[in-house]
Structure 1
Amino acid sequence: MKVSTSPCSPSVLTSPDPDRWPDIVSPRRASRPRTAVAERVVRHALGRLPLRVRLAGGESLGRGGPLLEIHRPEAFFRRIGVNGLIGFGESYMAAEWDAPDPVAVLSVLAGHVAELVPAPLQRLRPLWAPRQPATRANTPDGARNNISHHYDLSNELFALFLDETMSYSAALFRGFPAEPSLLPAAQRRKIDRLLDLTEAGPGTRLLEIGTGWGELALRAAARGARVTTVTLSAEQRDLARRRIREAGLEDRVEVCLRDYRQVTGEYDAVVSVEMVEAVGEEYWPVYFRTLEERLAPGGRIALQAITMPDDRMRAASATHTWIQKYIFPGGLIPSSRALEENAARAGLRTDRRARFGTHYAETLRLWRERFHDRADEVEALGFDATFRRMWTFYLAYSEAGFRSGYLNVEQVLLVRPESR
């Protein structure tokens, strides 16, 4: 399958696999009235934004700014009429629209998200927005399937765009713009700050919920901590174990394929990096109760979490999004308020908080550029053009969220009283 390499040409994906991409190949059709309403709403929104929107046939919309080219307007409006923002993302995957700078376009949209849909229609959101599938609930079995959907794609795929630390979370830079060569040090700086929050050192019993590919466990063990780290990704477990073995730290680190709800024992410190987003709102109370139950008296918990405004989180919590459908099924980004309230209900006090969303935007930029530069290698791994457009949209969409301030990322220190 081939796709035009020019970012603003009318790219056409040829012969995508209908079994792999059913909603891209054969999108559900909207009724004429629904499509007409969607087109009217979208045209009105685009016309008021600082964008330069160019439709096939020569029509233009917007007040000037980053260029968005709609190659197939009829299909574009129809997809949005059926699935709202899911349809917007699927339209990009189908190459029905494009942009020379997708991050700039998506940053404008993210910065105006609250005003894209008129208030009367926003109140009707429960009637038209798709609901989250019950099959994606984060039960123990469901969580394993949801995590596998993303993290078991291929260790080789992630290695193509991540740095040598294989860290898949926000890095912490000393200055901007960040150079690719500085990413490994910035990732280790982020990890060290988390470990410093927990005061991890020789003899510390440390639990990590969400192993990733093992960099935090390696750095904690190098400090002399005894680490138990759990993941639901078999691919991550296997590579983390290999890296730990090659570092000669097997005697200090145990990597388990285990749900956080199945962890037993007591620990002086708990660290969890960008894992709470995958827990699901229904299970946040269980997650924080587990943190509290696993923590020794006087222990410390360091979390790193992506956050969004509380009102937007509430609006999104009951609906199905493009990110949930294609990238992180079952997930929901919490608000700072939701984190603090759920922690408090579990008997944990928020002691410290530091936000660094602009650093995540830079991290994502470096990943996105590297993914783009190594597109041929991604294809050689067996990932087709539709997947590559999907992944490009995901990275650009995420970067835009942080650049616009719609998303943030924070490190939080939680403590609990000396006695229960």
Structure 2
Amino acid sequence: MLRTEYRRDVFCFTVLVTLSFLRFSYLGFRYTPYLDDHIQYIFYPSLDNGWENILVGGARILATRPLAGLLDYFLWSRFANHLGIAVAIISVLYGLSAVFFHKAFRRVGIELGPVFFVFYLFLPSNTEGTYWLSASSRIVVSLFLISVSLIFATKEKTALFAVFSFLSMWFYEQTAILSFCIATIFFVLSKKRLEILIPILSFGVLAAFYLLFGSSGDNAHRFSSVRFSELFPHTLDTLSDIGTAFIPVTFRLTANGFVRSVNIIFENSSHLWFAVIGLLSVCAVILTSAYQNKFSKTKIFCGLILALAPLLPFFVTNNTFSLRNLVPCLLGVAIVLDGIVPFLFRSFTPIFASVCLIVFSVAAVSETVDYDKTARHDVALAQKISENITSDTRELSVKITTPAYLPQNAVFGDHIKSMVGSDWGVMGIVRTVSGNKDLIVNALR
């Protein structure tokens, strides 16, 4: 019996991880660097005094999100000529995080079924945070480390839990909060109240670090606090942005993305890819439906905490909410939906989950194609700009009037925008293409 369950788990999780990988594989292993990718994975690592200048010198990447900066330099930049491999690795890590979260929650009495996997892994509005390398290398890697830490926590390997939980906090502010909250929840559910001190101490060290060094570095602007007099209107604007991203934008990304993706698939006669995605989606839902999925107030409550907690920084800082910021919340959102949907749909839940999974997976095609076309257009534009750069050029102003080149599935924030959307991105791509490593580029809007 146990061997049968083990085999089912292995097969089920293999299918899920494969789907997570295939979701962004429509273009194969091709990934064109987009916006900040150029400066993070190509330009900075190419500098002669890279370690000294990048990490503790002018850019001071170690001052904010230090582990993300270290991995950029020592790991992801090694794939500079084949960034599609980096995307594939991160996609697999994201799939594994879902598997580990499922196993960890099951060990504390919270069973997660197919709806959890579908909405956590495949919701179209998570593309910006799970496909774009500059974002996914922070968010997804952190989520993976959190999930690993929980496995160790449930196995009572406290030291390993402490290490992975601590490391997970140094990639992204939202996932740091998520890591703290989920560890606290686990120890409360496990009735191990003394161990709660571990995430408290880890988060305290992180907070002290940011208080000391957060005002410097390339990401320092993210930590500027909102003035008290502006707090109320800022809160309303933030709530509006979050609500828009979660509901209408997610709906448009799903509906428009699916229709456009189907057109792309059939125009290119990619019927085999479509068939494989459909077959694996049905298999994944059938396999995950074997897990018991009972309505639980504890499950809903925990999910709400994990969905809302990562949003807190946007109410007290001037950081703008983007679609990538949905990803740290999706763990909680997926847990809540996994508790509510089976209660509403009952025996029709597998059908609902299967349809959603196929639609979500297919919708990713148009998103990846749009990213690729926009990135290639930016490179072509940077090449034209470089034609006017001489060895004596020290400073250049670039004005791009079109924030987006393509009709998108949904318009929100800086989602699939041209290089004009990022000052850092403009400088990175022009420096990389021109080969002028000292060039100062000003983006005019």
Greater strand fraction, Structure 1 or Structure 2: 1
So what's the TM-score if we normalise by structure 1?
0.28
Structure of higher RCO (CA pairs closer than 8 Å, 6+ residues apart): 2
Greater helix fraction, Structure 1 or Structure 2: 2
